[in-house]
Structure 1
Amino acid sequence: MSKFLIIGLGNPGAEYAGTRHNAGFDVVEAFAAAHEGSFRTDRLAEVAEVKWKGKIFVCIKPTTYMNLSGKAFKYWMDKEKIPLERTLTVVDDLALPIDKVRIRAGGSDAGHNGLRDIQQILGTTEYPKLRFGIGNQFPKGMQVDFVLGKWFPEEREVIQAKIIKCVEMIEQFAVAGISRVMNDYNKQSFGVVKK
């Protein structure tokens, strides 16, 4: 049975729940729930293991805080003996509009602290990432407040649709491979948010 490691990036704690920076947690929670998995607290992360179509998915939400995500990633990848190309890191992305998601086999951290830490610990940028667009609708100097803020009410419908689509993308990543998922999903849009 092939194993996959699905890493949702976010910050632990109730005050961060439902924030843009926790989009990775939201996607991984939705994926586990769709396959009747439940999270338990374990070393450096909350962990859920699900089986689907003859594959095992080890889903983690690091409890190390965003800036130290690499430690949990490496620990669970080594513990479960999962090769790097069968990992998928789900992360919020300011550079992508809110109606987009994008999956890639590699790519830089683009200034994201969670990805930067993973990159430093792994010594490479070449690991699969699923980027969840959060847009960049914030005044100059307000980036941190925006990223750590909650979704606007008018965005919620788009976000829910994207989370459901990301669950599908994780499944397809495991059964069809990353190239196929890139071709099928990277160009999709999820409805324009009305102002």
Structure 2
Amino acid sequence: MSNEPFIIVGLGNPGPKYENTRHNLGFLTLDHLAEENGISVSRIKFKSLTGAGNIAGHKVVLVKPQTYMNLSGEAVREAVSFYKIPPEHLIVIYDDLDIPTGSIRIRRFGSAGTHNGMRSVVQQLGTDRFPRIRVGIGSGRKEELISFVTGGFRREEVPLLRQAVETASRAAECIVIDGVDLAMNRYNTKKKEKKKGEHAPGEQDE
């Protein structure tokens, strides 16, 4: 077993204004993961709230950047540099417009897509070769995109997103314990529109 910890990052915006918004599903998932594993995420370090602990005997560091979303990469880079971990020991959890509400998708690596927080992380690290867990929020109209992602949940979304947070948390545990390939097989939702063998970079068939 490697002595290097896993760094698990949940992306979001700090402050009560953004607490229960779509763009903060990374924070919400990390909070759930911390609670399930008895980890306190309260230490201020790396421009973040952080907490260290164990998941099934594996050392983990949980990180909630406090830089606001668009500068998240600065915090992640500081944490990765401090612990000197390989890219595969970084897991980033964030909301994604391109996935149906309540679904999750794990990728081994890949581009940041339209997510500004992930763009910042990739830019600051100089690589996109790290696992990530995307939590689906569906999509709003383009002209209302900012208000959509920073808006609160509709009543009908709440049970779906609560389940997604729990599933994403378990998926993060699975990556730590069993590896990203097994986690992808277990948690990625099948895309019926794709034929077997056709998948995005970093994804594989279930």
- Three-state SS of the structure 2 residue aligned to 1:141 is helix
Corresponding residue of 1:171:
173
1:99 to 99, 102, 107: 102
- Three-state SS of the structure 2 residue aligned to 1:56 is strand
Corresponding residue of 1:84:
87
Residue pair 1:2, 1:54 contacting (<8 A) in 2 also: no
Residue pair 2:55, 2:176 contacting (<8 A) in 1 also: no
1:7 Cα deviation after fit = 0.4
Query: Which runs of 5 or more structure 1 residues have no equivalent in the other structure?
Result: 190-195
Corresponding residue of 2:195:
none
TM superposition outliers: structure 1 runs of 4+ over 3 Å = none
CA 1:25–1:114: 2 relative to 1, 3 Å: same
Moved more, 13-22 or 71-80: 71-80
Aligned AA for 1:134?
Answer: I
Corresponding residue of 2:56:
53
Deviations 1:49-74 (A, max 9, x none): 12122111100000111111111101
> Partners of 2:90 and 2:54 in 1: how far apart?
15
- Is 1:159 matched up with 2:167? no
Aligned AA for 2:141?
Answer: P
> Partners of 1:61 and 1:54 in 2: how far apart?
22
Residue pair 2:105, 2:135 contacting (<8 A) in 1 also: yes
- Three-state SS of the structure 1 residue aligned to 2:151 is coil
- Given the two structures, how large is their TM-score scaled by the length of structure 2? 0.87
Corresponding residue of 1:111:
114
The 5 A counterparts of 1:126-141 are 126-136=129-139, 138-141=140-143
- Three-state SS of the structure 1 residue aligned to 2:5 is strand
Aligned length: 188
Aligned AA for 2:35?
Answer: A
1:188 Cα deviation after fit = 6.3
- Three-state SS of the structure 1 residue aligned to 2:143 is coil
The 5 A counterparts of 1:14-33 are 14-33=16-35
- Three-state SS of the structure 2 residue aligned to 1:23 is helix
Query: Which runs of 5 or more structure 2 residues have no equivalent in the other structure?
Result: 192-206
Q: Percent identity?
A: 36
Q: Aligned-residue CA RMSD in angstroms?
A: 1.4
- Given the two structures, how large is their TM-score scaled by the length of structure 1? 0.92
Corresponding residue of 1:13:
15
